[in-house]
Amino acid sequence: MQQRILAFIGAGNMSRSIIAGLIQAGYPAERIIAANPSRPKLDALANDYGIRITQHNAEAAREADVIVLAVKPQLMAGMLSTLVDELGSLAGKLLISIAAGIKVARLGEMAGGHARIIRTMPNTPSLLGLGMTGLYAPPGVEQADRDFAEQMMQAVGKTLWVAQESGINGVIAAAGSAPAYFFLFMQAIAEEAQAMGFSPEQARLLVQQTALGAAAMVEQNPDLSLQTLREQVTSKGGTTAEAIKTFQTQGLMPLTAHAMQAAVERAAEMETLF
């Protein structure tokens, strides 16, 4: 992996996860700087990973080759405006955004007309190194910058490039928001298991181990479609077949499609807020 000087503006959970993944992959700690207004998160990063820290964004950004924008979306405009004022320009620096809801063009405006920007959309399993990140770069961004952003996000999981920026909203629907879909389904199974007489602890064990095993079967059988995997555990006339029939007659597939489209529509609405 290219070893550029990397500055994280914001020291929240996602920044910590990416830093941890990079260090574990052998990235030099001295080439990573984290900036944050308060000390506790910075001190924890310095103690745990040996990186450099500062409470001043401009100090971190000034010597960085790559700046990771990891502040809340509502704080982004003010942060970038101040950064441009203090540095004069962000010329020569790659900006990688992990903030939701802000398009590349808008980030460019916030950054004083800067164009060297890559937008990413990681999901929460990135905190465990099991993330799924969508990436988008406008046509003018060089391949070396694309490669760096991809390798950085691969430190916390898998990556997928989208050709059009609107595809990021599809990533949100299929991966960014999707852990919550699975949690909801797991909650429904666990609650019904409790209604059948299992304790909460037993119900959770049944659900989490089954979900873990099902995900592993998908990962370890890449040549089999999801439909085939389902059919392999659905004996004709058996218990699973009866449950699947109920899901299908109650409209699980169209309901899921409707929910995902709702997520896409909301993501598009959020892009107009900043």
Which residues of the chain are under the pLDDT cut of 50? none
What are the tens digits of pLDDT across the range 141-155? 999 999 999 999 999
What confidence score (pLDDT) does residue 2 get? 87
What are the tens digits of pLDDT across the range 156-191? 999 999 999 999 999 999 999 999 999 999 999 999
pTM score of the predicted model: 0.94
What confidence score (pLDDT) does residue 1 get? 83
Contact between residue 149 and residue 120 where contact means Cβ atoms under 8 Å apart: yes
What confidence score (pLDDT) does residue 130 get? 96
Q: What is the DSSP string of 170-200?
A: HHIIIIISHHHHHHHHHHHHHHHHHHTT--H
The secondary element (H helix, E strand) that includes residue 97 is: strand 94-97
